[in-house]
Chains A and B, each alone.
Chain A
Amino acid sequence: MILMRYCKDGGAEFISHLDMLKNFGRTFARAKIAVKYSAGYHPHMLVYMSAPIGVGIKSYSEYCVVDTDETAEEFKRKFNLYSQSGIKCTAAWETDSKKGVASDIVKAQYLIKGINDFEPKEISDLDEFIITARDGSEKNVRNLIYSIEKADGGIRCVLGFGNGLRVEKFVEKLVGFYGGDDIDITKEEGLTADGRPFEESKCQ
């Protein structure tokens, strides 16, 4: 098996998670990367992806496990040769398990630009941070906001990932508080529960 880290930018951030999965299958076929298939009634490629990010969010820290016998080096070379623009494998490791790409990445570090200037402390001092979920219910997600600071012309924050807080909802709320325009969100790093980068704890 191969664990790959890839980035999604240059326009590719607008491709949805499901379309990405489909495109991956085609990239592997073009690159002649022999991916193993499930043995069920409807066989499918054994590819495991990290939890989806919203359409329009750039990411330099997406992970995917591919069940193949390729070497990491060969996999990365072939993938990048045949991948579409904006999707690039930045690292690959040989592994013998799924590595919990979907379950172990529970936090993510984002760089958010475009929100009008504000003092991050105002957010970290809050006791509750209410967002409206898709079903219309209100939810306090303060415990999923781990850090927030000013950095690189925007704010850098660590939020819960894949566990009830979508960064778009968080940003929507901040824009509601402080105003903003032309919001740009970049997922910089996927983190495990202890706050370490996923690959630091899982890929060495």
Chain B
Amino acid sequence: MELNEKIKKILKRVEKPARYIGGEYGERALSPSALNYCICFPDVYEVAMSNLSIRIVSEVINRVEGAVCDRCFAPWTDFGDELKKNGVPLYSLGMKMPLKDFDMIGFTLQYEMSYTTILYMLDLAGIPLLRTERGDDYPIIQAGGPCAVNPEPLADFIDIFVIGDGEESMRDLAELKLKISDKREFLKAATAIQGVYVPSLMEVEYFPDGRIKGFSIDKPIKKSLCRDLDGGAFPEKMLVPNVESVFDRAVIEVMRGCYRGCRFCQAGFIYRPVRPRKPETLCAQAVKLIENTGFDEVGLNSLSTGDYPYLKDLIKKLKCELPKDVKLALPSLRLDSFDGEFVQETKKNSLTFAPEAGTQRLRDVINKDITEDDVERGLNMAFENGYSGIKLYFMFGLPTETDEDIYGISDIVAKIRKIYSANKNKERNLRISVSASTFIPKPFTPFQWEAQITEEDVKHKAGLLREKLFYRNTNLSWNDFALSEIEAVLARGDRKVGKVLYSAYKKGCYFDGWSDKFDPEKWNAAFEENGVDKRFYTREWGEDEILPWDFIDCFIDKKFLLKERKKAYAGEVTGSCKQGCKACGIQKTFRCDV
């Protein structure tokens, strides 16, 4: 559909106007239907267009007869300001239809710091932020995605959450909406769909000290699970972005879930069980995607692509079937799965690895099952293949971390330099970038009860490392603590945090994930205004305490998580599911293919 004159006028005044025009190659001709759904991504076009989950949801909805799925991404501040100034409501990119004219709007929750951007988008659309202020005339606001496993901080704003995989639940939800138009009736009926949570139908009771006393629902809400991922909806057409996006390539999802169980990693637990797709299915999808888009690169996505059981077979098939100039990108490789055959074809100079912790002891604590030998073998392979840049990710503040573990990071860097020289390279050509983030305890992990370290701790650890890492061409950076602290509060927040989100947005906080837009002062004022103490959420939680997300069932036994926590403190490694079932609980629901 055409852009209206008002929008065209605005476009001439903003940066990267092509973000807001739609019309990309591959866009379906959309027209309003019985059910108009708009998938929204609370970040800019370049980030949104790289995201696979919104493509899957669009595919699922568009396959439902009578339903149409359009899309909308957060406009950057210049365009947002112009929309407000000119009284133009936020619109979808396909039909150019105002968001408030849709029947349902779905937000994907990929990152806690995007929550205020959801409020920004609702505001630009002219939709009241609070669900209690939205009558029947407004669309139903839905949310899903990885952060939805703890939906409570957004409970004041979202009408309905879909927790878990979207393939079946979103289809069922769309079909139900086509049958029931009344909002209340629909929300009530939707709770019969696995994975659906309606905050208005649940009350939370608190103790006077702020801890949770109980939830008013009889049984937990089970996450939605796509049992047949191989046959699950996958978009074989994708839009070719108008503006260079973060990952400008075709993407196939080789498997969902991860065998490893690193104790800090939320994705490793909430996406269980591991469901690999068949190489034939993936190959056919990749061929179609390349044919339909003209991209010259295919990303083999998953949480740990090196663990995909049929990787060699898949790569062989892809090399055979894809045009010869199409490159393969394997974005999530572990050091121990790094193999000459899997070496990235696209970049020949820099590799990224995430040892996460500086010593073997701490890596055992977090169940990052990587040994010094693995590191050495992986790096030797990398240097033999011509890499001269290494990017390393670590975390500050992991449970039981001591100064020795921080010095261990520096030892790793020294070792890398030695290995590089031993490979007959000149040490001065090696570039190492060490990046450290602050550990954030996340729901549904064995570390969900842990405390987050303080700003002073971070300063101390960073100081130690800075003193030690005094090598040529070695760069050290670490995350802004204030940002990590708020992320930690939102990750483990309850409904009380919603009020802080509301105040923070009203004070002008959005695009908080963008460091130049993040304003800790405004956030602090929002906490203060609502009498909410950040430390309540970043403290160590009691093991017998009811957690804000305890009413959600991700099929992982709490007893298993507690056992894992104990093993962490004992420095015991659990290892990968590939070495045998660890009885995390998912096996009671799904027969894992290990």
Contact = CB atoms under 8 A, between A and B. Distances in A.
B21 A30 contact: no
B296 interface: yes
A84 B244 contact: no
A69 B102 CA distance: 48
B242 A15 contact: yes
B236 to A, nearest CB: 14
Interface stretch (B10-18, B204-212, B449-457, B557-565): B10-18
A134 interface: no
A12 B240 CA distance: 13
Contact of B18 (A19, A27, A82): A19
B21 A14 contact: yes
Nearest to B6: A182
A84 B22 CA distance: 11
Interface string B367-382: 0000000000000000
Contacts of B23: 10-12, 84-86
A19 B244 contact: yes
A38 interface: no
Given A11-B3, A14-B18, A19-B18, A29 B12 contact: no
A68 interface: no
A183 interface: yes
Nearest to B24: A84
B243 interface: yes
B322 to A, nearest CB: 11
Interface string B1-45: 011010001011000111011111101000000000000000000
Nearest to A10: B23
B294 interface: yes
B243 A84 contact: no
Contacts, number: 72
A55 B16 CA distance: 8
Contacts of B21: 11-12, 14-15
B12 A56 contact: yes
A84 B18 contact: no
A36 to B, nearest CB: 12
Contact of B240 (A11, A18, A26): A26
Interface in A162-204: 182-183
Contacts of A100: none
For A11, A29, A84, the residue with the greatest tally of chain B CB atoms inside 10 Å of its CB is A11
Range class of the A interface residue count: 20 to 34
A182 B9 contact: yes
Nearest to B96: A11
A25 B326 CA distance: 13
A147 interface: no
Nearest to B240: A26
Contacts of A140: none
Interface in B379-407: none
Contact of A30 (B16, B20, B293): B293
Contact of B25 (A10, A19, A27, A182): A27
A17 B588 CA distance: 55
Nearest to A57: B12
B295 interface: yes
A29 B11 contact: no
Interface in B433-479: none
Contacts of A14: 11, 17-18, 20-21, 242
A83 interface: yes
B293 A19 contact: no
A12 B21 CA distance: 8
For B244, B290, B323, the residue with the greatest tally of chain A CB atoms inside 10 Å of its CB is B244
Interface of A: 10-12, 14-16, 18-19, 22-23, 25-30, 55-56, 82-86, 182-183
Interface of B: 2-3, 5, 9, 11-12, 16-18, 20-25, 27, 240, 242-244, 248, 290-296, 323
State the 3 A-B residue pairs at the shortest beta-carbon distance, nearest first: A26-B294, A29-B294, A30-B294
28 contacts: A10-B2, A11-B3, A12-B23, A14-B17, A14-B21, A14-B242, A15-B242, A16-B16, A16-B243, A19-B242, A19-B244, A23-B240, A25-B296, A26-B240, A26-B294, A26-B295, A29-B295, A29-B296, A29-B323, A55-B18, A82-B25, A83-B25, A84-B23, A84-B24, A84-B25, A84-B242, A85-B25, A86-B23
